[in-house]
Amino acid sequence: MDSVEVDQINNIEREIDEIKADIALIEKDLTSSQLQKQQLQEEIEVLVLEQQKQMQDKTKESPIPDAADEMDIEIPEIIKHNYFDPSIQKYFQHPTPPQSNQLPSHENALPTIVSSQLKPINDLELKENVLYENIFRMFGVTAFPINQYLFKNNNDPNEQILGLRFDLYSNFTKCFQQPHYCILRKLSFEKNETIFYNWIVYKHTLPSYIPIDEYSKILNESNNDNNSNNLFKFAESIQLTLTKTQYKLDKFNQLLRFNKNQFGLDKDEAIFINLDCDLSGQRILLNLSHNSKTQIKKTQMMGLELICSNDLIEVIHFTNFPNTINSNQLLICQAILQNSKINDLIKNFRKVIQILVKYKVIE
């Protein structure tokens, strides 16, 4: 064995010794860490036991309230109702009794004190009822009582008065719209020497596109006084028309959120700059953003005019479109939109906008 091999063996042995020394140091550190971990666990257990003991002592020392008035009851804020139309505001208000200047006697003093003590609980129940009422209103139609003294008829105590409230939720604004009210009154009439009762629409704040005369016939389809299905059909017909109209308007308003950069263009501008429509959403005017930097009159803007029912786009016209797109392409756009469902409005308008972007009508 030559000297070179001996040197290599010696180097390997030295490296082995160094590795063994490192292993010994690591084992020593590991043992020390395990001891520290064990000590920390013991300290944590001691702290937990002390905290549990303190909690038990506090529970024994804290008194339990015996009386109901010592309880801290959080009463929610009552929801204030605003009236849609001031002309019907009086039908929702109760008459205020005349205030007497006479001082309360000792006999009446005790009930006053008792009622004042129960006032927080009564307020809580009242406000809970108001919250329940608003939950019910989320379903769209709510019946509510009317001040009967405004319609009191001593000759016929069977006459009734009923209020209906129609609430609409907008998916575009994520808010409830102003409600509509309808006040029904049941009047008597005589037929073949027999007295019947019919509901009539006494007051309402429904929009003009609701065929109230047609729907009011549903109330009296049968002269059977016990038949309450007519009232449900009447309210359901009105709510269905209101809901479909609101849904249609929400769909068209969503078109205003279309942006050019959503269709591969570099501009951060809206595709449609404004929307004009009538109350029922039957006639819709959509104006497209123009490419010219000069001011353009509203009558010269590119636009789409649509005639719609509650469920379909029935007629569509294109106005002031440039020559860069030929009539065949406009016919394709018209075929996509015409007779399409309101449910598919967003999807079909995307297709039309892609065609207009392709032929640089929108750029």
- Looking at the structure, tell me whether residues 136 and 211 fall in a common domain: yes
What's the CATH number where 302 sits?
A: 3.30.390
Lowest-confidence pick of 98-102, 103-107, 294-298: 103-107
Strands ordered across the beta sheet of 313-319: 272-277, 283-288, 303-308, 313-319
Task: Note the pLDDT of residue 282.
Answer: 92
Task: Note the pLDDT of residue 158.
Answer: 66
- Looking at the structure, tell me whether residues 236 and 328 fall in a common domain: no
Confidence bin at 86 (pLDDT 50/70/90): low
The pTM assigned to this predicted structure is 0.60
- Looking at the structure, tell me whether residues 270 and 326 fall in a common domain: yes
Give the end of a domain, one of 225, 250, 275. 250
Burial of 152 (0-12, 13-18, 19+ CB in 10 A): exposed
Quick check: 251 pLDDT over 80? yes
What's the CATH number where 239 sits?
A: 3.30.457
CA 145, 149, 151, 156: dihedral to nearest 10 degrees? 100
Task: Note the pLDDT of residue 69.
Answer: 45
Lowest-confidence pick of 19-23, 68-72, 341-345, 346-350: 68-72
For residues 253 and 274, is the Cβ–Cβ distance under 8 A? no
Is 95 among the domain residues? no
* pLDDT tens track for 195-249: 777 888 999 999 999 999 999 999 887 655 555 788 889 999 999 999 999 999 9
Non-local (6+) Cβ contacts of 202 within 8 A are: 161, 183, 184, 185
Give the rounded percent of residues in the chain with a pLDDT score beyond 90. 23
Instruction: Give the Cα separation of 217 and 234 in Å (integer).
Output: 8
Instruction: Give the Cα separation of 120 and 253 in Å (integer).
Output: 46
Q: Residue 225's domain spans which residues?
A: 124-250
Is 6 among the domain residues? no
Is 313 among the domain residues? yes
Q: What does the longest C-alpha to C-alpha distance in the chain come to?
A: 140
Is 211 among the domain residues? yes
Instruction: Please state the rounded mean pLDDT for residues 275-292.
Output: 85
Is 291 among the domain residues? yes
- Looking at the structure, tell me whether residues 230 and 274 fall in a common domain: no
Number of domains in the chain: 2
Give the end of a domain, one of 212, 230, 250. 250
Instruction: Please state the rounded mean pLDDT for residues 332-349.
Output: 91
Task: Note the pLDDT of residue 109.
Answer: 42
Confidence bin at 111 (pLDDT 50/70/90): very low
* pLDDT tens track for 148-178: 666 666 566 667 788 899 998 888 888 888 8
- Looking at the structure, tell me whether residues 191 and 277 fall in a common domain: no
* pLDDT tens track for 30-73: 888 888 888 888 888 888 888 878 777 766 665 554 444 444 44
- Looking at the structure, tell me whether residues 177 and 264 fall in a common domain: no
- Looking at the structure, tell me whether residues 243 and 262 fall in a common domain: no
Lowest-confidence pick of 5-19, 257-271, 299-313: 5-19
Give the end of a domain, one of 216, 250, 284. 250
Q: What is the mean pLDDT of the chain?
A: 77
Amino acid present at 166? F
Is 33 among the domain residues? no
